[in-house]
Structure 1
Amino acid sequence: MRLSSSFLPTLKEDPAEAQIISHRLMLRTGMVRQMSSGIYAWLPLGLRVLDNISRIVREEQNAINAQEVLMPTLQSADLWKRSGRYDAYGPEMLRIVDRHKRDLLYGPTNEEMITDIFGQFIKSYKELPQLLYQIQWKFRDEIRPRFGVMRGREFYMKDGYSFDLNYEDAVVTYHKMMLSYLRTFQRIGVKAIPMLADTGPIGGDLSHEFIILAPTGESGIYFDSDFTEQNWLEMPVDINDKESLAAFFQRMTRFYAATDEKHDQNEWQKVPESRRCEGRGIEVGQIFYFGTKYTEAMNVSVIGPDSDKINPHMGSYGIGVSRLVGAIIESSHDDQGIIWPDAIAPFKAVIINLGLKNQACKDACEALYKMDQEQLLYDDRDERAGVKFADADLIGHPWQIIIGPRGIGNNVVEIKRRETGERMEVSIEQVMHYISSYQR
């Protein structure tokens, strides 16, 4: 993309309405614009980040044999009345009446709808397990939406649902999803710690939240420092083997962690003192096992191995995709702006042309830009160098490729790593290879 012709409306000053750093930076970089209270339009830069996160989430869900669906945002109130949650959910649910006087709602979650869909088609235990997910917009009518996309009313999330024959199989699926989440967050480029959590209005008796460490986090947390050093992508786990998954979960649980409310001092004392860490964090995902709560309430069953009717056991698994964008910025920024992890940055690098009137510089920029027009942003604006550098730091591209008359005369360009500020000179032919092969 050429910056001179792009829709990237940056702001020089912090917006007065933004209370936290992620909200300020998302507005200043032109990622989003607020359309009404707690509702945002995602502009091209922000949408690229949202799509990059969604791609990784989707790939990791598919890797555990989850199947993607897409359910409507508007749901019939009758489904929620069948489960008993329609009146119990509270004012956060946006209730709607259509022109035919039918009660509808803008879905805050989809346990009822997916249970109904499952019940219409799956009739035998031989068709279990089933693991379905979607990435879709949700709505919760927060009484005080604040903190930008961190606590908005409309939000983009991945929600998944599992159906198993019994408790033992459901726990295997739960472990499989926990591993998938750990791998997802690691690929995104953040450290997310699973912690025992309350189940809230979803229900059930087993749940973990996934918390990203950030100084501005809403929750106080305690965790074992060894957890953040694990490479979950290389964890030798066979997702199709129950014993392998159980062994993974056993290893994982030794990294004791809790929210303030669930902190157990006796368990905390079992962690070596040198590894005990305290901090603050932001919730970006949660997984639940809630058994037959919905299948019983909605009279959904399958024929079991003894020809009896069995209510399948369910789990629910969410990742706040749009919330993740804000959480990542909260945990990864400096005084100049955002510092994006490579995997989800809107662009791999920005090309900064310091010699707009120098033909050699122009030719070098054009040649480099043509190597990857999808992942390179070319700052070809007729602006001062200081403006270009400031915008590059503000937006947070992992790399800046700086092309000027002095260097191009020697066939070299300067590259800057946004995360560390490290600068180096590389031959123009090696720039893309160097960036692609860089090890953090």
Structure 2
Amino acid sequence: TGLVLYSRNGLLVLNQTAFYPEGGGQPCDLGYIEYGSRKIQVNYVERNEHTVIHHVSEDLPEKARVRGHVDASRRRSLMVHHSATHLLLAASRSVLGDHVWQAGAQKGVDESRIDITHFSKLTDKEIAEIERRCLQQITEGRKIIVRNIDWYKALDQFGFRLFQGGVPLDSKLRVVEIQDIDAEGCGGTHLDNISEIGFIKIIRSESIQEGIQRIIFAAGQAALRYVQKIHFGSRTIMTQLGTDPDNMEAAFMTERSRSVELKKDIDSLRKRYVNEYIQRSDIHRGNQIVLRLITGDPDEEETKLLGKIAASNRGEIMLLHTVHGKSAKFIMFNPSGNALELSKSLEPSVSEVQGNKFMATFRSDLDSNKLIRMILDKSNGNVNGKGK
């Protein structure tokens, strides 16, 4: 419970609060403030020097007595991930070497990340060993001790590694120690024992800059949800491939090779179909422009190939004529002019015009020969012949 000291414009200050403000890479607590029968949502919590400011859905009368309700599930997940961050840092140092320091961190509900100093991208073997060591220490169980210690005493006992998360300005240093494993200066929320983490699953690692590696991971229930998602997805894939876990990778590579070969065959067929479209096309010549009329129903990829051919033939307009229902759809490629402006100039004989300078689409019920004359006339050309 607490007393309202200030409440204006959605900002609330209490004489005391259980809500953790955002800081140190840990998101703030969420929840609601109970005032009588009303529940005022807490949407964000921040610290301004020594004052904790709650961003709330509505204002409250000053000096009112209220009760805060923190989202316990969210708080627990953040505690698990924060304690897991400390343990993961210690495990990374033991596997990779003493050169590993924390270069940044961000905790989350479903996953978190920690940036460490290391000269190369983590290998699968290194990741597996870090996970194994974390699990071993979680299984053994170590107390997490939180205490405020005088600066010089803390430095004498733990050294400068205390400041991996930043240098605090208070006279006392809040030290979070995983017994016999790690100690850091930290102002976040933590578990009482690392055994409460459950397990840690590294989702991926990546190099974010030279000498800095980012580890994205999940811990506790979030790690379980991630592993279950991967498991159920893998099981579906195994069912479709008709294989088992031991042979899944080989079965996948076999299917992938088949898919690559099939794509090559499909691409070859598409090129053949496109060449046939070109060979069957009608050429309409004007004084200054040539219009190539292609009639057919190419798919999206074949249309892209036709567009590439059109782009290489400057001075030629390619008009693709496709009949769907009562009205015909046209696609115009105009590499040396403006397909969109030319198509709009045909209105009202055409409709639903859209596109860009190179390619435009429209619909028309007009006879194709009349439409072609219009296009050539608009392009400052006159029909003087037709050939194939």
TM bracket (short chain): under 0.3
Per the normalisation by structure 2, the TM-score is 0.17
Relative contact order, higher structure (CA 8 A, sep 6+): 1
Q: Which has the higher strand share?
A: 2
